[in-house]
Structure 1
């Protein structure tokens, strides 16, 4: 028995030693960072793989450490350089001071090093050139000084190098200009005739007059080519029919931050810009929160008000390149009833989208959350919102190639501009995030009460799932109520707004459906028309629902009567069949058949 235990101890000894060794290094980091809030990082707990924000492989090797925006004020511990199994080290958005330890050059398995938006000082260690597997190096937004080490040019796999907003000086190693994505802005780098354009724009004429002329000529030629390409691409990607609205196509070439061509006047923002604009993503600036993340109000240096959506599931399928492609695709969809994307920001740990700020917020807010004394949405405005939203969705479904499915159509996702015109937001976001990372149990994206039955049961969406959500949104507009309201349990069984409206419509109690805040200032015929369109859009079978182009025509007074008559016939037949089955199986509480049915449904 003693021999058995001795063998067992010897067999387990390497993992214990490994855990202790890694735990010591991590605990040293906790102390140096002054990270008292990391309470689970207990020195007496042998295995650090149980500590929060520490990821290990199946052999208890620490492979990832991610501590974002936790307000640390200490320094980096050189002992981290001992954990050579690390593949990702991410500590952005903290107040870390001091220098980058040269021992970080020992992390030879590292693929991601993100230390952006801290208060790091000193020079970039030349030892980082030993990280031959490194792909993403992000040191933006610090106080780093000195030159950019030539040794970084020796990293063969480096694809993203972000050194912007520091105090670096000297020349940029020419090989680093071949990296797929880089940013050196906000430094004091020397310029030469071969320097990138943002260097010349920062230093002014120090690059020489000949260099400037060469840059101007190339810029004009390149800009013309880019514009021609973009116009052609825009026409292919989004082509619309003539519907009486001005079709706007915005074309631009990305500025100093991004070397690639961008669509729709997109700007690639720096993390620091958005951090400052939102007061470090302060909770007091939160405009709302949904399935894709929080939205913050922000103000740019030129006093432009923006809304910043900080995506929750930042690990988009295909990585950063795929994310940018999808963002560009969204930006090409330009319509007066669609929210225009201003720009975006990506870091190894963050995905953010930037939109113009809508001063009248959302339709849901104006229906249910207005402050006392503020007038409610009048009926003409509600009609205009219904039609504008329908036109926006029609454009996404039928005028874009490939078509864009929203997946979460509801009053909270329809915003109101300064003229109270409907602007559909949050479209196209489902492709930007990894559904495997979501905190819900299925891959369905949306809000309960708005989700079409077939989408809920199969996880497969189509433009007809958007039509269903739109129908529920119409009922929100008419009633002012939420899609699910448990307070109705006190009076009836219909928690769902759709069932509640169907019941009142069957009983011809239209006035009981309409939002009481309107004080009967509405046209009852127009209310009836909107309810009919809503019920047509929310039919159980997706094939029976109208397309959004049909919805637009019905709201404009064309073709509704025929569709409604057909729906009534189907609905009456379905209702009669349901009642017949209910009578057949309703034997009463004391019936022996009920007991048999219960027993038959049990386990076998």
Structure 2
């Protein structure tokens, strides 16, 4: 029963993965350094990848810029606390060695590296993995002695080191091994006496060595039913059953949950409302499908007192879950029929795999016939817009170093969406209000993918323009067609918000109609070299004018009228880091001077024409920006 049920559950898992996540991946954002969310877990796994000499095509998503290793291939985490519990890298043709840094992963329960070309010794640090239950290094080219530290792993059940080049003697166990049920050391270069205590293990194999398996007693070098040489098939069957049972205990819960999800019968946390009706929360992988009742309770029935913000996609409510976790619940609008439920869930799952330090992580969602809700972590410092323009008495202003870091972080997040997600994700509403700030004032791009989510019922994505006036690129406004470069335009406006602290549209500047739009206002002052008048007065001149000028230049390059002229976000990241801005700015200035001369020439021609022609051309010139 054990092996059969294990195989059945494994087949179910493979079916789930291939059906639900085929084609969804977010890989390799090539920016930044290790960050706090990684801690030592990410460091250790990256060190393992490096020491194994993984090729460019292997373990692509093992990347230090992702939020955590739980999203990486061949890595499994405990769903309750996100600790890494399993690493499986079988038959991948590695040629390197084992990194001793893996020894810091105290929560690991299973490591499988069999069937590779791994060389070198087994690090003694593996003996620090106190929760390890299975270690499989079979069929590699490992050398050296077996570390005696492995015998300290009291939870170890399966130790498989066969088919290597290990030498020396087998260490004498001093403690541990009380739970070991399978030990394979066959086909090595081991010598000496096998410690008697190892013959008490239900399943062992010491064959293919220079070992003495029976000095005091006629011990066989492989486990059998008894020492008389009778058939050992019954005992092998027992061991196989035990092995299968262990696999089920280790992975059964997760696999069962995933399989049941496909049958829409998931086990979850139940919530009973005052009328006695039962609702249910369902967890699968990194994402949770929340019960409507739970989110209703968390937000105090979506009380207006809990509203964090609102916009074209709906309202956002602060909430507290039953385990006291603070969340932000976005209640989407523009939904009617229930037919879009499956499509909505697929899009949510696709967005949930976009994981980067500068992207807002999706915790879960909730759907009913008339409702769609998304659940995110609560951002304690709210949004860039609120920190610029809605400061409460006593709250500090965003200083210039924070603004620079926000600009770079947001650029990295957008670059990840555009260049490293498959399919790519276009935000379509980049603005200061959608750049959130965590507890360390790190920029976190929010609401990405929502434009696609709310359009799942539309047959033509160009029928509905999503965004905020003043932030919308001119080509998107006039045609309804969006691209990565529409996001670049919105990002440029967001940079101007960061520098000035002002809104994208401000009717208080009506005395000069050309200054209503923040972009026109900044362009005018930049031409007049009045940079100090551009900068947010709340900074009280505590900034570098050279850095301000550089950020304004990047913003103006991003907000060019033609989308083809705008730099991609990858180039924006490089310019913010100090690479290539001077050359790009010089090229832009040449084009801008030519354009303005042409405009002035046209104006002079219009002065000689009649009023009707003048008015018509003026209208055309003042069209969508």
TM over 0.5: yes
Of the candidates 391, 394, 401, which is equivalent to residue 373 of structure 1?
394
2:287 to 219, 241, 266: 266
Query: Among 522, 528, 534, which residue is 1:513 paired with?
Result: 534
Match of 1:240 in 2: 28
Alpha-carbon offset, residue 221 of structure 1: 3.8
SS at match of 1:493: helix
State how 1:389-428 maps to structure 2 within 5 Å.
389-428=410-449
Q: Take 1:453 and 1:435, find their aligned partners in 2: how far apart are those partners? A: 24
SS of equivalent to 1:464: helix
How far is the alpha carbon of 1:577 from its aligned partner?
Answer: 0.8
- Give the corresponding residue for 2:407: 386
Match of 1:285 among 290, 300, 306: 306
Asked if 1:448 corresponds to 2:469, the answer is yes
Greater RCO between the two (CA within 8 Å, min separation 6)? 2
The alpha carbon displacement at 1:494 in A equals 1.4
Correspondence for 1:353: 374
Report the CA distance shift for 1:510/1:344 in structure 2 as closer, same or farther (over 3 A).
same
Counterpart Cα distance in 2 of 1:565 and 1:300: 53
Q: What is the aligned length?
A: 384
Q: Distance in 2 between matches of 1:527 and 1:216?
A: 66
The answer to whether 1:250 aligns with 2:70 is yes
Range that drifts further, 226-235 or 485-494: 226-235
State the secondary structure of the residue aligned to 2:421: coil
Q: Unpaired runs of 5+ in structure 2?
A: 35-63, 72-78, 80-253, 267-282, 619-625
3-state DSSP of counterpart to 2:309: strand
State the Cα deviation string for residues 85-116 of structure 1 (Å, max 9, x = none).
xxxxxxxxxxxxxxxxxxxxxxxxxxxxxxxx
Partner of 1:305: 326
CA 388–324 in structure 1, closer or farther in 2 if over 3 Å, else same: same
Q: CA deviation at 1:396?
A: 0.2
Aligned pairs (5 A) from 1:183-582: 221-222=9-10, 225=13, 229=17, 237-243=25-31, 244-245=33-34, 246=64, 247=66, 248=68, 250=70, 259-260=261-262, 265-315=286-336, 319-434=340-455, 443-491=464-512, 493-582=514-603
**Alpha-carbon distance between aligned partners in 1 of 2:447 and 2:382, rounded to the nearest angstrom:** 13
| Contact 1:452-1:469 at 8 Å conserved across structures | yes
- Match of 2:204? none
How far apart, CA to CA, are the structure 2 residues paired with 1:352 and 1:570? 46
Correspondence for 2:119: none
1:516, 1:220 → 2: CA distance? Answer: 66
| Aligned-partner Cα distance in 2 for 1:474–1:600 | 31
Residue 319 (structure 1) shift: 1.1
Answer whether contact 2:23 2:422 (CA < 8 A) is retained.
Answer: no
Structure 2 distance, partners of 1:507, 1:411, is 26
The 1:336/1:567 distance shift into structure 2, 3 A limit, reads same
- 1:238-277 Cα deviation digits (max 9, x unpaired): 2224434523353566959971398761000000000000
Report what 1:583 is aligned to: 604
8 Å Cα contact 1:317-1:432 kept in structure 2: no
Q: How far apart, CA to CA, are the structure 2 residues paired with 1:465 and 1:599? A: 28
Work out whether residues 317 and 434 of structure 1, in 8 Å CA contact, stay in contact via their aligned partners in 2: no
Question: Where in structure 1 are there 5+ consecutive unaligned residues?
Answer: 1-212
Inter-partner Cα distance in structure 2 for 1:242 and 1:509? 36
CA distance 1:405–1:373, shift in 2 (3 Å): same
**Contact 1:494–1:500 (CA under 8 A) maintained in structure 2:** yes
Is the contact made by 1:340 and 1:355 (CA closer than 8 Å) also made in structure 2?
yes
2:611 paired with 1:594: yes
Q: Secondary structure at the match of 2:365?
A: strand
SS at match of 1:529: helix
* Partner residue, 2:173: none
- Tell me the secondary structure at the aligned position of residue 418 of structure 1: coil
Structure 1 position 553, deviation (Å)? 0.2
1:338 touches 1:424 (CA, 8 Å); kept in 2? yes
What is the alpha-carbon distance in structure 1 between the residues aligned to residue 298 and residue 351 of structure 2? 23
TM-superposed deviation, 1:538: 0.3
CA distance in 2, matches of 1:298, 1:552: 34
Q: What CA distance in whole angstroms lies between the structure 1 residues aligned with 2:304 and 2:541?
A: 39
Is the 2:436–2:443 contact (alpha carbons within 8 Å) kept by the matching residues of 1?
yes
- 8 Å Cα contact 1:409/1:469 also seen in 2: yes
How much has 1:432 moved relative to structure 2?
A: 1.2
Q: Distance in 2 between matches of 1:435 and 1:228?
A: 23
CA displacement at 1:599 relative to structure 2: 11
TM-score for both structures, normalised by structure 1: 0.59
Contact kept in structure 2, 1:266 and 1:331, CA below 8 Å: yes
Distance 1:302 1:580, change over 3 A: same
2:447 is paired with a residue whose SS is coil
Q: How many angstroms apart in 2 are the aligned matches of 1:332 and 1:316?
A: 27
For residues 406 and 507 of structure 1, do their structure 2 counterparts lie closer, same or farther at Cα, with a shift above 3 Å needed? Answer: same
**Which residue in the other structure is 1:130 paired with?**
none
